[in-house]
């Protein structure tokens, strides 16, 4: 009797599905994509945009093996992942097997559990050609940009649509930091006493005019205010208590999982996805049964099935109490309008698979990630936390001061998912009343400097790409990995710093291919790819529109770019002396040269980090 043949991408997934389906099915893996554009040729007809796909050299034996099994099977099921890449793998597999889409059955599920898998096999569908077209369009766009741009940059270098935008963000931020001139400002606080407890209040208004952020900018005013405030008595003019609910965070999507794993666990985005893939495809538990522990990990939808919400509510009620179960299940919507395909959020497949009970089956890293996913999901189904804020305002003459204190009065979802709140003045008294007078015990002045914007971390870069609609769940991790591999950027203490090579490449792309690194242009392109996936746009016309504009820029750049970026030359830095002294430490000032250009700095560097922009009248003599 012939068996039913199921094709998936990975051996781990094949093992888990095989346990569920039983002996009537043969389940084998393609080990990822089996066809792609050729490695040694462009592979796209730029008149018709017809791609030429070839079987990947390392997959020829696998293809022959799959063909042999298919010939002796009475039906073929394609159970690749439920996204565009998975749909493309299913379509390519159909082609190499010599079948058409009417002869195969497409099954898709967002979790590898018995109910989900059996439901999918009972309700197979056809391959979605719209999803395939969207994947093809993305692949061909990336091939055009990469294949045509990279030779202009020199050997071993590359440019890509999303990669180039990410690089530009990092470089632009670095230039902003290098050009940043810090500004001194001051904050005045008074120390007062009530019932034997000291607390501080900050000056917020003078002559009924609010002190604007970041603080007082004129040092002369600081001393003037100090002389007028010192040892006086303030009168309490307002005491305000407010309570507010702080709702739980939504369950993870791909980007938020990568951000949180980077911040809390120190995982790279690539590592996070590799571990999540293991948890999704199946972990061997007791009796050597493989079970998928989380839902599909490439998603931009935070929605949760009604069944999962019902199970979570029951678990919360039984383990934490009725007060932690909301009256109605929470509803979460995608942060970006272009959320792709109707996936669920990343959540545990069984809420009763408590992390501590799963720990013995998991590696240390698998456990850390699973615990985080489980806690985020369960907490997302709990009641809001209640936070009480006490605000006290006091005046003396033309000066107004303020102090606040915040505390959690009902933990709600924070019982599982801890959050940071600004507690403010912990000694702030709740029994103080309007009209009460308090003597000023002391006056404090804090001198501060404005800070430049922070460099990007993996978490903040992914957050920014997502915010602008650049890239999709499957692209964040490989984009970052490519920037590091090409040595366009380096990671230092968790932040990205562009190398000179990366700056040169980004500057050249900005000059000759502004659309390629333009945030709005790239985001619009992603939206158009989404429209193809939804059957609302033709993929060939999108490619033609892009290439007609791109080839004009390409011709110009081919004639003008003369720099060999593959050879990184070190600048000769000559420090030019000025007849001026540093206002911060008293040492001489000089004109320094960095990779971003010239600026005025202190000879006391690195102890003194004073710097300023060069004005037109700054020259070698300092005149």
432 is written with which tokens? 């103080």
d(CA 409, CA 423): 12
- Tell me if residue 370 is catalytic: no
What superfamily would CATH give domain 157-180+456-560? Topoisomerase I, domain 2 (1.10.460.10)
Q: What is the model's pTM?
A: 0.84
Q: Does residue 74 surpass a pLDDT of 50?
A: yes
Q: Which of 159, 134, 136 is nearest to 37 (CA)?
A: 136
Strands (E), 503-609: 576-581, 588-594, 597-602
Identify the three-state secondary structure at position 35.
Answer: strand
What is the per-residue pLDDT for 297? 94
Tokens at 517, concatenated: 């690194």
d(CA 463, CA 481): 16
**Listed residue (177, 182, 206, 201) closest to 191, CA to CA:** 201
pLDDT tier for residue 579 given thresholds of 50, 70 and 90: low
Domain ranges of the chain: 3-127, 157-180+456-560, 184-242+390-449, 254-380, 570-623
Q: Encode pLDDT of 247-280 as tens digits.
A: 999 999 999 999 999 999 999 999 999 999 999 9
Alpha helix segments (H runs only) across 241-286: 254-260, 269-281
Record the tokens describing residue 554, joined without a space: 């390409």
The answer on pLDDT for 601 being more than 90 is: no
Residue 453 has pLDDT above 90, yes or no: yes
- Residue 433 Cα distances to 53, 430, 439, 566, angstroms: 78, 9, 15, 70
Provide the mean pLDDT of the chain: 90
Banded model confidence at residue 425, pLDDT cuts 50, 70, 90: very high
**How large is the average pLDDT for residues 557-566?**
65
**Residue with token string 């005019």:** 209
**Hey, what CATH topology would domain 254-380 get?**
Topoisomerase I; domain 4 (1.10.290)
DSSP H stretches of helix in 297-354: 306-319
pLDDT in tens, 367-413: 999 999 999 999 999 999 999 999 999 999 999 999 999 999 999 99
Mean pLDDT of 309-332: 96
**Which of 62-66, 97-101, 550-554 shows the lowest per-residue confidence on average (mean pLDDT)?**
550-554
Model confidence at 348: pLDDT above 90: yes
- CB within 8 Å of 221: residues ≥ 6 apart: none
Report residue 57 as tokens: 């050299």
> According to the CATH classification, is domain 3-127 in 3.40.50.300?
no
Of the candidates 225, 280, 296, 370, the residue annotated as catalytic is 296
∠ CA(603), CA(607), CA(611), 5° rounding? 55
Segment 85-90 mean pLDDT: 96
Q: Which of 167-171, 446-450, 514-518 has the lowest mean pLDDT?
A: 514-518
DSSP-assigned beta bridge partners for residue 445: 188
> What region, left, alpha or beta, does residue 186 occupy, with left being phi > 0 and alpha being psi -120 to 50 degrees?
beta
Name 26's Cβ contacts closer than 8 Å, sequence gap at least 6: 3, 4, 5, 6, 69, 73
Q: Give yes or no for residue 121 having a pLDDT over 60.
A: yes
**Average pLDDT for residues 521-544, to the nearest whole number?**
94
Question: What would be the CATH architecture of the domain defined by 184-242+390-449?
Answer: Distorted Sandwich (2.70)
Per-residue pLDDT, averaged over 313-335, amounts to 94
State residue 342's pLDDT score. Answer: 54
* Residues paired with 36 in a beta bridge: 54
């Amino acid at each position: 009797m012939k068996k039913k043949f199921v094709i998936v991408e990975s051996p781990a997934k094949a093992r888990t599905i095989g346990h569920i389906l039983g002996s009537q099915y043969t389940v084998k893996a393609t080990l990822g994509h089996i066809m792609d554009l050729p490695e040694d040729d462009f592979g796209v007809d730029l008149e018709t945009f017809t791609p030429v796909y070839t079987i990947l050299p390392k997959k020829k034996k696998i293809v022959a093996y799959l063909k042999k099994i298919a010939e002796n099977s009475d039906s073929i099921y394609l159970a690749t992942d439920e996204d565009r890449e998975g749909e493309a793998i299913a379509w390519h597999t159909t082609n190499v097997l010599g079948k058409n889409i009417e002869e195969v059955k497409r099954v898709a599920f967002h979790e590898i559990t018995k109910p989900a898998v059996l439901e999918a096999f009972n309700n197979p569908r056809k391959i979605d050609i719209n999803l395939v077209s969207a994947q093809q369009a993305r692949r061909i766009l990336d091939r055009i940009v990469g294949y045509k741009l990279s030779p202009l940059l020199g050997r071993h270098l590359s440019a890509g649509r999303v990669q180039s935008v990410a690089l530009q963000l990092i470089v632009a931020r670095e230039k902003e930091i290098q050009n940043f001139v810090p500004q001194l400002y001051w904050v005045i606080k008074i120390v007062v006493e009530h019932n034997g407890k000291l607390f501080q209040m900050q000056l917020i208004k003078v002559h009924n005019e609010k002190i604007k952020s970041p603080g007082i900018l004129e040092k002369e005013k600081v001393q003037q205010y100090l002389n007028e405030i010192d040892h006086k008595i303030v009168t309490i003019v307002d005491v305000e208590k407010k309570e507010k609910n702080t709702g739980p965070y939504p369950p993870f999507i791909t980007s938020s999982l990568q951000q949180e794993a980077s911040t809390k666990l120190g995982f790279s985005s690539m590592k996070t996805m590799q571990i999540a893939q293991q948890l999704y495809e199946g972990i061997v538990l007791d009796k050597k049964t493989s079970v998928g522990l989380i839902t599909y990990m490439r998603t931009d939808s935070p929605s949760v099935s009604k069944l999962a919400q019902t199970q979570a509510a029951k678990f919360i009620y039984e383990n934490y109490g009725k007060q932690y179960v909301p009256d109605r299940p929470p509803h979460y919507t995608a942060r970006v309008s272009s959320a792709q395909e109707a996936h669920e959020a990343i959540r545990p497949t069984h809420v009763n698979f408590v992390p501590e009970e799963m720990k013995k089956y998991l590696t240390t890293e698998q456990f850390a990630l699973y615990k985080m996913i489980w806690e985020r999901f369960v907490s997302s189904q709990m009641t809001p936390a209640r936070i009480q804020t006490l605000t006290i305002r006091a005046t003396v003459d033309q000066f107004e001061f303020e102090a606040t204190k915040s505390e959690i009065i009902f933990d709600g979802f924070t019982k599982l998912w801890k959050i940071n709140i600004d507690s403010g003045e912990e000694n702030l008294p709740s029994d103080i009343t309007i009209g009460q007078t308090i003597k000023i015990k002391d006056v404090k002045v804090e001198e501060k400097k404005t800070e430049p914007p922070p460099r990007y971390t993996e978490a903040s870069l992914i957050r920014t790409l997502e915010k602008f609609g650049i890239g999709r769940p499957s692209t964040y991790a490989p984009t970052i990995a490519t920037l590091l591999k090409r040595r366009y950027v380096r990671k230092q203490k968790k932040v990205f710093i562009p190398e000179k090579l990366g700056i040169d490449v980004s500057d050249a792309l900005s000059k000759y291919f502004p659309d390629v690194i333009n945030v709005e242009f790239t985001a619009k392109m992603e939206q158009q790819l989404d429209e193809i996936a939804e059957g609302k746009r033709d993929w060939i016309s999108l490619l033609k529109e892009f290439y007609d504009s791109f080839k004009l820029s390409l011709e110009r750049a081919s004639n003008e770019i003369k720099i060999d970026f593959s050879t990184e030359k070190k600048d000769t830095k000559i420090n030019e002396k000025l007849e001026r002294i540093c206002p911060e430490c008293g040492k001489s000032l000089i004109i320094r040269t960095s990779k971003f250009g010239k600026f005025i700095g202190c000879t006391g560097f690195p102890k003194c980090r004073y710097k300023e922009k060069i004005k037109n009248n700054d020259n070698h003599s300092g005149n």
